[in-house]
Amino acid sequence: DFSDISALTWSAKEITKEFQSCAFHFISRSGNKKAHAMAQKGLSRGEDGYWVEDAPALVEAAAVEDCRLHEPP
């Protein structure tokens, strides 16, 4: 893998060796609004940022929406 994220891919593969089984699945941006919201928030800041406990409100709102979409009524 010679992509821009090859180091991340390699690390993920190494970590999976510690588990009896592990699976990866592609999730489109529309199906993973939490990650997209975090990425957009990070890009808009223009600097590195970290949170220790509570996620930013935008991310929490996206997580709630994702749960509603994936949980049966």
The predicted-structure confidence for 27-73, as pLDDT tens digits, reads as follows 787 777 777 877 887 888 888 877 788 877 877 887 787 777 665 55
Q: φ and ψ at 62, to 5 degrees?
A: -65, -35
Q: What is the pLDDT of residue 9?
A: 86
- What's the whole-model pTM score? 0.41
- Does pLDDT of 20 surpass 90? yes
pLDDT at residue 14, rounded to an integer: 93
Buried b (16+ CB within 10 A) or exposed e, 11-39: eeeeeeeeeeeeeeeeeeeeeebbeebbe
Domain spans, the chain: 6-70
Cβ(58)–Cβ(41) below 8 Å: yes
Answer whether residue 23 shows pLDDT above 90: no
